[in-house]
Amino acid sequence: MKSVKFYLPVVWFLSLFLASCAGFVGSSNYLHIGQVGVGPAQTYVYECSDEYTFTVNIGDNQAQLFLPVKNITLAHAFSIPGAKFNTGETTLWVKDDIARLEIDSVMHENCYNNPAKAVWVHAKFNGVDFRALGNQPSWILEIVKGENIIFADYNHKISRYMFDSPEPEIDSSAVQTVFKVNNKEHALLVIITGTPCQDSVSGELFYFNVTVRLDDKLFKGCGKSLL
């Protein structure tokens, strides 16, 4: 049963490509490296003491609130200390990485941002279709279908590389997607395989094993589709 579970997301990811054809802060988890999307909006995934979870995207003097059952846009309101957003019976207070949310006369307090989750949602909001990361050294890969592939690694300093996104080579029998691309200075090979993968640092489970070769350097890690 597990083989079906991990195979289906890969087929889904591959089929979407086929259809279209006819700072680092100690850990690579905490950085969205792409330059897609507009505006300086920030994304947060808040986990509250009462086990209530919500996502919010803040920018342009408003907060887009993504709740388990509905989405709400809140306008910015003057408030000291911290930022306040409200509309009707919904009010959000944010200060640093802590928030509290009042909705339908229910107060959710002690809500702390989970940056390891928020960076994936933020990348999705900014148009990233697939994202992967690895360790030793830390690295991140982001693919925007039909636009660009961005790779960054960290070994005492951040090195960032951008490539045009080509049409992938797809091997359905091997459940594998391959990108081969060059820019003026570097060659990049990305192999995405539909087998389960566990991050070596966080222990998080992913649907995809990812191998990246940048020139003569090899990187291995895990990834997931954000589509």
Per residue in 27-60, pLDDT (tens digit) is 333 344 444 333 456 899 999 999 999 999 988 8
Which residue pairs, CB below 8 angstroms and at least 24 apart, start in 150-157?
150/33, 150/34, 150/35, 151/188, 151/212, 151/214, 152/28, 152/31, 152/33, 153/214, 153/217, 153/219, 154/24, 154/28
Q: Is 89 helix (H, G, I), strand (E, B) or coil?
A: coil
pLDDT, tens digit, 9 for 90 and up, residues 131-173: 999 998 899 999 998 889 999 988 777 889 999 988 899 998 8
- Mean pLDDT for 81-104 is 90
Q: Is 199 helix (H, G, I), strand (E, B) or coil?
A: coil
pLDDT for res 40: 52
The pTM of the full predicted model, rounded to 2 decimals, is 0.74
* CA–CA gap between residue 203 and residue 198 (Å, rounded): 6
- Mean pLDDT for 208-223 is 96
CB atoms within 10 A of CB 4: 7
Mean pLDDT of the chain: 82
Task: Tell me how many degrees the CA angle 57-138-187 measures, rounded to the nearest 5.
Answer: 100
pLDDT for res 80: 64
pLDDT for res 96: 78
Residues of the chain with CATH 2.40.128.200: 42-116
- Per the CB < 8 A criterion, the answer to whether 117 and 45 are in contact is yes
pLDDT over threshold 50, residue 18: no
Is it true that domain 42-116 has CATH number 2.60.40.3680? no
Phi, psi at 18, each rounded to 5°: -65, -40
The two most distant CA atoms of the chain are separated, in Å, by 59
